[in-house]
């Protein structure tokens, strides 16, 4: 399966509320120092080990690619594709375009409005609450 996963507040602690301005040095520092949400890395790596394609789809700017990849490496997240937005696109607009063009089977996000968008584009949209519930949903649809 092709699985799309949001980053902030879905696999790592939410940076948005802790920093005043995206693209600032403080923002990049908060990305670098954020923690992984419990069970996220283990479940994601299990999906990768089972041969699923993982696409991290984030409204982080493309200029955050290096610090985001460093965070992924630090937390030992396996093979994945990182999709970050361009500055001229608004987050939901970017995600609608990307989710639709990737042909995803599953999309996981913490924002209800993005799950509403995903309902039109993927077979299994999953609203993130915690990774144990996501794991149960993934097991139910046969992804785990």
pLDDT in tens, 6-40: 998 999 986 655 554 555 677 677 788 889 999 99
d(CA 105, CA 51): 14
Q: Has this prediction a pTM greater than 0.85?
A: yes
pLDDT of residue 20: 46
Neighbouring C-beta atoms of residue 104, cutoff 10 Å: 24
Average the pLDDT over each of 36-50, 79-93, 122-136 and give the range with the smallest value: 79-93
d(CA 131, CA 117): 21
Fold of 2-140: Rossmann fold (3.40.50)
pLDDT of residue 127: 97
Q: What percent of the chain has pLDDT over 70?
A: 91
Between the two ends of the chain, the Cα-to-Cα distance in Å is: 10
Chain-wide mean pLDDT for the chain? 89
Tokens of 82: 């990182």
pLDDT of residue 93: 85
Over range 33-49, report the average pLDDT. 94
Domain ranges of the chain: 2-140
């Amino acid at each position: 399966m092709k699985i799309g996963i949001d980053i902030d507040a879905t696999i790592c602690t939410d940076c948005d509320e802790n920093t005043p301005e995206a693209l600032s040095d403080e923002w990049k520092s908060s990305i670098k120092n954020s923690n992984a949400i419990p069970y996220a890395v283990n479940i994601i790596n299990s999906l990768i080990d089972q041969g699923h394609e993982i696409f991290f789809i984030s409204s982080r700017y493309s200029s955050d690619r290096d610090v985001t990849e460093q965070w992924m490496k630090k937390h030992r997240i396996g093979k994945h594709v990182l999709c970050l937005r361009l500055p001229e696109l608004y987050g939901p607009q970017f995600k609608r375009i990307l989710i639709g063009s990737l042909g995803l089977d599953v999309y996981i996000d913490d924002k209800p409005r993005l799950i509403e968008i995903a309902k039109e584009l993927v077979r299994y949209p999953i609203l993130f609450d915690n990774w144990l519930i996501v794991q149960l949903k993934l097991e139910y649809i046969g992804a785990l």
